[in-house]
């Protein structure tokens, strides 16, 4: 008798503004080791994933960085496209951003409307954000011409995207959000209000203890 | 070799059961009980419990499933380090055992004492949490809880006129009644955030809106029914039923294992083997046989018709569809591979033809005047 099929999609949103220069290598290393670590944790629990994909969103600031403000990769199939994923991450360069805050909420919104894998019986849709900065409010005026028109108008609408189970968006049943972000707007609001969020208040995972990292992996693996 | 181990396991189970029954009472109802870890020494389900009154007219059975995702914090206690989920399931079942031991021994009413169960569980969880050594986490999350677990139990009270049953639960561990006429009936309602039935939830996997933990309030649900003998009372964690494609397949595996067994020990071994084939998690169950004069053969005979009709009405067509989907998937993979090979061959031929063709194509360029 056949069992159920599992699919896991992960979207990594990485702040690539100039202020990340000092910690970008740590973030890249964390992003690159996430798959092997997750795999190890899955194997330790004897859990088998049928399809696992990862994509990368490198974000900066639409108000300061023009065309390099947001770069979204396609999903890489694992383990087949692991080397393409590694190249994508290794090529990330910290630059621009102007003053804090950055466009972290826009990156999160784009992550939520990713082309999630809807096949399989059970799914997990995971978004991870690494940033050292607060984020612009979505309702900020004076948007530049390259600012996407399909994004939520404000934080409440983004919250509906997270919790509302709307077509074309992340599933409220499958979702997990992992924040390596300072305890500032909007990250602290998100971890206080939204469901299914794990927040490590820091500058982009700086000082993350092994214990907490294992807790994050366990929260994902054991919910699969 | 497999047959040898099965025989060995049967003997071991029989001895274990005799020892347990001796401790309980001399006239124990037949029961099967297991707690299978997905990974050795990492199991977060507790061993199911069976508590019985000395006069064998009241019983309580229960399972608990420590929630590994929410309860992954490691705690050190009595020299061993285990997750909060591990300690939670065991603490809750130990609390239930103490509670029912007391009401059975002192002949207290379950109904009037039921509301004392939750405070007793909460007190035990709080007390054990205070004794733990653990490293403080820097994480902020509503997902991470102190000592989270689900549990489900069935209280059974026999009188001359009737049998009264109360299912009690928190979370998505389940209580069932199985009869030869009606089949499997769930007598607990999964505490899901989304409004999903058991079949829908197999696909969507809703989160829980209620479960036991040391740092959050919870509800112990209760539901009572009257029933006639004979029946099976079943409590099971989600590892038992949550990895089959449909609820019907869970019942069928349960009954087919019974049909193929020649004793309750054999049934237990077969059922574990069959669930293990699909389970992606720890799984534990306790099934109490009520009626059939404790005669396994009589019970098995009584379920024969139900097993056959369940297969005819539900399982057969699902198996046919399963097979044809697998066949189509294999065909698709084969055709994809053939296409890939054909495309590669086409490119190789294009390259070869072009190599020949280009000799004339570049003739003027390669021989300028």
Q: Which of A174, A199, A208 is the closest to B141 by Cβ?
A: A199
Does the distance separating the beta carbons of B206 and A4 come in below 8 Å?
A: no
> Torsion over CA of A63, A69, A70 and A71, rounded to 10 degrees?
170
Mean pLDDT to the nearest integer, B3-27: 53
Q: What is the DSSP letter of B48?
A: P
Tell me the pLDDT band of B22, cut-offs 50, 70 and 90: very low
Complex-level ipTM beyond the 0.90 threshold: no
Write out the residue range of the structural domain in which residue B179 sits.
Answer: 2-318
For residue A101, give every residue at least 6 positions away whose Cβ sits within 8 Å of its Cβ, in sequence order, or none. A61, A133, A134, A135, A136, A185
Least confident of A104-113, B73-82, B159-168, B204-213: B73-82
| Residues B278 and B342 occupy one common structural domain | no
Which residue has 């007390």 as its token pair? B127
Task: Compute the distance between CA of residue A217 and CA of residue A199 in angstroms, rounded to an integer.
Answer: 13
Of B74, B139, B322, the CB nearest to A2: B322
Find all residues with CB under 8 Å of B38, minimum gap 6, and list them. Answer: A45, A46, A47, B239, B279, B280, B281, B282
Separation between Cα atoms, residue A140 and residue A152, nearest integer Å = 12
In angstroms, rounded to a whole number, what is the distance separating the alpha carbons of residues B197 and B199?
6
**Tens digit of each residue's pLDDT (9 = 90 or more) over B322-355:** 999 999 999 999 999 999 999 999 999 999 999 9
Backbone Cα Rg of chain B = 28
Cross-chain Cβ contact A209/B138 below 8 Å: yes
Tell me the angle at which helices A82-90 and A24-44 cross, rounded to the nearest 10 degrees: 160
Contacts A3 to B, Cβ<8 Å: 243-245, 277-280
**Any idea what DSSP says for residue B333?**
H
- The CATH number covering residue B241 comes to 3.60.40.10
Average pLDDT over residues B258-279: 96
pLDDT score at A157: 95
Same domain, B310 and B330: no
Q: Are B327 and B293 within one domain?
A: no
Residues of A with CB under 8 A from a CB of B: 1-4, 6, 44-48, 121-123, 172-174, 176, 191-192, 195-202, 208-209, 211-212, 214-216, 218-224
Instruction: Determine the pLDDT at residue B283.
Output: 97
Residue-level pLDDT at B296? 96
CA distance A141 to chain B (A): 31
Same structural domain, B241 and B304? yes
Residue B206 has pLDDT above 90, yes or no: no
| % chain B with pLDDT above 70 | 93
In angstroms, the CA A177 to CA A166 distance is 17
- Candidates A49, A166, A171, A222; CA nearest to B143 is A222
Which stretches does DSSP call E strand in B68-195?
A: 74-77, 80-83, 140-141, 149-158, 163-170, 174-179, 183-186
**Whole-structure pTM value:** 0.82
The reply to whether B327 and B308 lie within a common domain is: no
Residue B175 has pLDDT above 90, yes or no: yes
DSSP of B138-165: --EESS--SS-EEEEEEEEEE-SS-EEE
Alpha-carbon torsion B46, A224, A180, A185, what sign? negative
Radius of gyration of chain A measured on its C-alpha atoms: 17
Interval B289-301 mean pLDDT: 95
Do residue B289 and residue B344 come from a single domain?
no
Is the domain of B217 the same as that of B330? Answer: no
Q: Which residues of chain A have pLDDT under 70?
A: 1-4, 223-224
Closest residue by Cα to residue B86 from B121, B43, B38: B43
pLDDT at B217 over 70: yes
Distance of CA B284 to the CA centre of its chain: 6
User: CA of B291, closest CA in chain A: separation in Å?
Assistant: 31
Split into its structural domains, chain B has a count of: 2
B194 and A46 within 8 Å at the Cβ level: the answer is: no
If asked whether residues B314 and B340 sit together in one domain, one would say: no
Mean pLDDT of B38-59: 93
Place of tokens 């700086």: A206
Check residue A172 and report its DSSP letter.
Answer: T
**pLDDT bracket for residue B261 (50, 70, 90):** very high
Question: Higher-confidence residue: B22 or B77?
Answer: B77
Mean pLDDT in residue range B49-62: 95
Same structural domain, B248 and B336: no
Residue-wise over A122-145: b if at least 16 C-beta within 10 A, else e?
bbbbbbbbbbbbbbbebeeeeeee
* Domain's final residue, options B318, B333, B356: B318
Q: Give the closest of B139, B245, B280 to A2, CB-based.
A: B245
Q: What is the CB neighbour count within 10 angstroms for residue B269?
A: 21
Band (pLDDT 50/70/90 cuts) for residue B9 is low
If you average pLDDT over every residue of chain B, what do you get? 91
Residues B276 and B347 in one domain: no
Q: Are residues B259 and B354 in the same domain?
A: no
Do B252 and B361 have their domain in common? no
């Amino acid at each position: 008798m056949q069992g159920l099929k599992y699919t896991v999609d992960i979207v990594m949103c990485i702040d690539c503004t100039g202020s990340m220069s000092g910690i970008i290598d740590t973030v890249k290393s964390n992003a690159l080791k996430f798959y092997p670590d997750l795999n190890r944790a899955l194997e330790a629990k004897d859990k088998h994933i049928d399809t696992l994909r990862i994509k990368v969103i490198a974000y900066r600031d639409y108000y300061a960085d023009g065309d390099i403000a947001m770069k979204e990769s396609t999903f890489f199939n694992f383990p087949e496209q692991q080397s393409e994923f590694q190249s994508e991450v290794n090529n990330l360069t910290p630059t621009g951003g102007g003053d804090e805050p950055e466009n972290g909420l826009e990156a999160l919104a784009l992550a939520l409307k990713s082309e999630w894998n809807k096949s399989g019986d059970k799914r997990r849709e995971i978004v991870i954000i690494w940033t050292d900065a607060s984020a612009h409010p979505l309702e900020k005026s004076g948007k530049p011409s390259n600012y996407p028109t399909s994004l939520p108008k404000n934080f409440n609408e983004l919250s509906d995207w997270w919790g509302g189970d709307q077509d074309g968006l992340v599933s409220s049943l499958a979702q997990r959000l992992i924040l390596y972000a300072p305890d500032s707007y909007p990250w602290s609001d998100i971890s206080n209000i939204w469901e299914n969020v794990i927040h490590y208040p820091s500058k982009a995972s700086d000082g993350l203890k092994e214990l907490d990292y294992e807790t994050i992996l366990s929260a994902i693996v054991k919910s699969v | 070799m497999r047959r040898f181990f099965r025989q060995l396991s049967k003997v071991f189970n029989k001895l274990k059961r005799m020892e347990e029954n001796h401790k309980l009472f001399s006239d124990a109802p037949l029961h099967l009980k297991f707690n299978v870890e997905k990974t050795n020494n990492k199991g977060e389900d507790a061993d199911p419990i069976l508590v019985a009154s000395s006069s064998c007219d009241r019983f309580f059975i229960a399972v608990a499933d420590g929630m590994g995702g929410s309860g992954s914090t490691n705690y050190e206690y009595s020299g061993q380090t285990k997750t909060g989920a591990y300690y939670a399931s065991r603490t809750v079942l130990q609390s239930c055992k103490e509670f029912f031991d007391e009401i059975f021994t002192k002949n207290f009413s379950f109904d009037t004492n039921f509301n004392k169960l939750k405070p007793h569980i909460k007190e035990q969880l709080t007390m054990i949490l205070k004794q733990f050594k653990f490293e403080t986490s820097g994480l902020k999350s509503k997902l991470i809880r102190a000592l989270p677990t689900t549990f489900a139990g069935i209280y059974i009270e026999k009188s001359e006129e009737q049998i009264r049953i109360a299912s009690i639960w928190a979370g998505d561990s389940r209580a069932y009644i199985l009869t030869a006429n009606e089949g499997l009936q769930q007598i607990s309602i999964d505490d899901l955030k989304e409004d999903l039935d058991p079949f829908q939830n197999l696909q969507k996997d809703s989160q829980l809106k209620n479960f036991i933990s040391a740092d959050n309030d919870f509800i112990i649900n209760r539901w009572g029914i009257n029933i006639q003998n004979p029946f099976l009372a079943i409590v099971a964690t989600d590892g038992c039923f949550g990895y089959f494609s449909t609820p019907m397949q869970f019942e069928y595996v349960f009954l087919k294992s019974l049909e193929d067994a020649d004793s309750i020990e054999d049934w237990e071994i077969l059922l574990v083997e069959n669930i293990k084939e699909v389970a992606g998690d720890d799984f534990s169950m306790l099934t109490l046989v009520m009626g059939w004069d404790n005669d396994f053969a009589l019970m098995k005979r009584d379920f024969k018709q139900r097993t056959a009709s369940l297969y005819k009405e539900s399982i057969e067509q699902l198996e046919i569809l399963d097979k044809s989907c697998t066949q189509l998937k294999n065909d698709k993979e084969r055709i994809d591979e053939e296409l890939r090979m054909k495309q590669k061959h086409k490119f190789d031929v294009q390259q070869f033809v072009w190599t020949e063709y280009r000799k004339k194509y570049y003739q003027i360029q390669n021989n300028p005047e």
